[in-house]
Amino acid sequence: MNCSDVEKWLSAYMDGELIPARKDAVASHLGSCEACRSRLAEWKAVWQALDALPAAAPSPAFRSRLAARIRESERPPVSERFERFLIPVSAAAVALLGFWIGYIAGGRQASSAGIPDSVSPIASTAYLDSFNSVPTASLGDIYLSLNDAIGSEETP
């Protein structure tokens, strides 16, 4: 192994990446060659000089900012969020409208057809049974309260 071979292997030698046989050969050449020793010293100094590049320290907010960014990315886009809100609201509105139209039409039909008054209390009792326990502010609850209001208007 001559000086130019050694020069070629010096970089990997410094990094401990030479196969054992080659590493030994370089080491024994270095033991006897002043020029290659000084070349190695120079390369080591270059490596050392890279210490001048400052190391970084994560700012205390790094983790929380990362977490916030991930959370933000996982929120559905605005249009999707709006749809999610809009669908149940419009469904409820349609249902309410249906009840209201049903109530008007039903009322009109009952009065024009001249159905005897004794029929309606039975009908409303039957409906009341089927809505026996409904959660507050649910559609059923609203229907029941409407029904009560109608009942109290009609009975006196």
Partner 1 sequence: MQDTDLMLRVQKGDEAAFNTIVERYQKRILDLCTRYVGNPADGEEVAMDVFFQLYRTRLDYRPEAKLSTYLYRIAVNRSLNRIRDRKRRRLVSFEWLRRDRPFDPGAPDEERPDSMLETAEREALVRGAVDGLPEKQKTALLLRRTEELSYEEIAAAMGTTVSAVESLLFRARETLKKKLRPVIS
Q: Which DSSP symbol is given to 11? A: H
What would the two tokens of residue 99 be? 């009840």
Using CB under 8 A as the binding rule, whether residue 8 contacts partner 1 is answered as yes
Query: By CB under 5 A, what part of segment 14-33 binds Zn ion?
Result: 33
What's the min distance (Å) between Cβ of 59 and partner 1? 6
Interaction partner, residue 86 (partner 1, Zn ion, none; CB < 5-8 Å by kind) = none
Supply angle C-alpha 54, 58, 59, rounded to 5: 115
Helix axes 139-154, 78-113, angle to 10 degrees: 30
Q: Could you tell me the end-to-end alpha-carbon distance of the chain, in angstroms, rounded to an integer?
A: 119
The correct pick among 65, 81, 84, 108 for binding partner 1 (CB under 8 A) is 65
Task: Point out which residues bind partner 1 (CB under 8 A).
Answer: 8, 11-12, 15, 17, 42-43, 45-50, 52-59, 62-63, 65-66, 69-70, 73
